[in-house]
Structure 1
Amino acid sequence: MGNEHRSASAEVVFGLRTFGANPLPVRVELEYDSDDPYAVVAAFHSGRGTVRWMFSRDLLADGLLAPSGDGDVRISPGADASKIIFELEAPDGAAVLEAPAQELAAFLDRSYEQVPGGDEPEWFDFEAEIAKLAFRS
């Protein structure tokens, strides 16, 4: 450990796909933080507030190239190569959104500038995470 804290962020406008209409714009703040070097957070801002989804940085990277994910978050290239498709599922419902591929790739590149792929274990404090789990019991 002992590495200096690093982060990257980007504001991207996603499109919420709806039936029979053009996608509705949704402002999304993408966040990457070296304190949790394996994760990306997407904060979706809507009229009802902010909904935060956390998923792996590898899932985002893989989803730019091929369909990825088999849980609550699935990411894949769109039929239009300039778009990436996000499928989100929660107990309260599901959403399909599209996002500009170039902006996602640029954010991902900035995250790798902060913590290169493969260097995540050098930044992740396993002992601190285990301690958090021990106090939750």
Structure 2
Amino acid sequence: MNSSDTTATAELGLRLVVPERTSVPLVARLDYNADDPYAIRVAFHTGEDEPVEWIFARELLTVGIVRPVGEGDVRVWPSKDDSGERSVSIALSSPFGQAEFDTHVSPLAEFLHRTYEIVPAGQEATYVDLDEEIERYLA
């Protein structure tokens, strides 16, 4: 995991859950930046030239480690892998298709812990310049 005072980056091993077949291993890059304190960007490396990118609410991934959360396009819930080790499942849905991933809790929790060292829970609003955000969206 790479990190600074305002950013954290990690590569996370995932398993793409494929119905009626074994899971397919993938790598995802997680990026967190204090400039966007509510969000975690995830780039799924699927073997194509460009990764598939999604933006998750940091809280969604955090809560999903301990209980099912989310509805609609993104759902996250705790689970166990084939060996009984704690894992986290992530289901994504878009007009282009659906996918379900599974990953071990430890590396995800470690990454999330680092993001909360950068911006503590409940302090996100102090890192957002609302005037700048409004100006950016109106321009």
Q: Which residue of the partner structure matches residue 90 of structure 1? A: 94
Q: How far apart are residue 5 of structure 1 and its match?
A: 6.2
TM-score, normalised with respect to structure 1: 0.91
Percentage of identical aligned residues: 37
The answer to whether structure 1 residue 66 and structure 2 residue 67 are counterparts is yes
Map of 1:111-130 to 2, 5 A cutoff?
A: 111-130=115-134
Q: Which amino acid aligns with 1:101?
A: V
Q: Which amino acid aligns with 2:109?
A: A
Q: Which amino acid aligns with 2:137?
A: L
Distance 1:5 1:121 in 2: 17
Runs of 4+ aligned structure 1 residues displaced above 4 Å come to none
| Partner deviation per Cα, 1:51-107 (whole Å, 9 max, x = no partner) | 111011010111011001112111100144511000000101000000111111000
Q: How far apart are residue 128 of structure 1 and its match?
A: 1.4
SS at match of 2:17: strand
Distance 2:94 2:39 in 1: 19
Contact 1:5–1:35, Cα closer than 8 Å, also in 2: no
TM-score, normalised with respect to structure 2: 0.89
SS at match of 1:21: coil
The answer to whether structure 1 residue 6 and structure 2 residue 2 are counterparts is no
Deviates more, 1:13-22 or 1:86-95: 13-22
Q: CA RMSD in A?
A: 1.5
Distance 2:14 2:119 in 1: 25
| Partner deviation per Cα, 1:100-132 (whole Å, 9 max, x = no partner) | 111110000000111111111111111111112
Q: Point out where structure 1 has 5 or more consecutive residues left out of the alignment.
A: none
Q: Point out where structure 2 has 5 or more consecutive residues left out of the alignment.
A: none
SS at match of 2:88: strand
Map of 1:17-56 to 2, 5 A cutoff?
A: 17-48=17-48, 49-56=50-57
Q: How far apart are residue 24 of structure 1 and its match?
A: 0.5
The answer to whether structure 1 residue 110 and structure 2 residue 114 are counterparts is yes
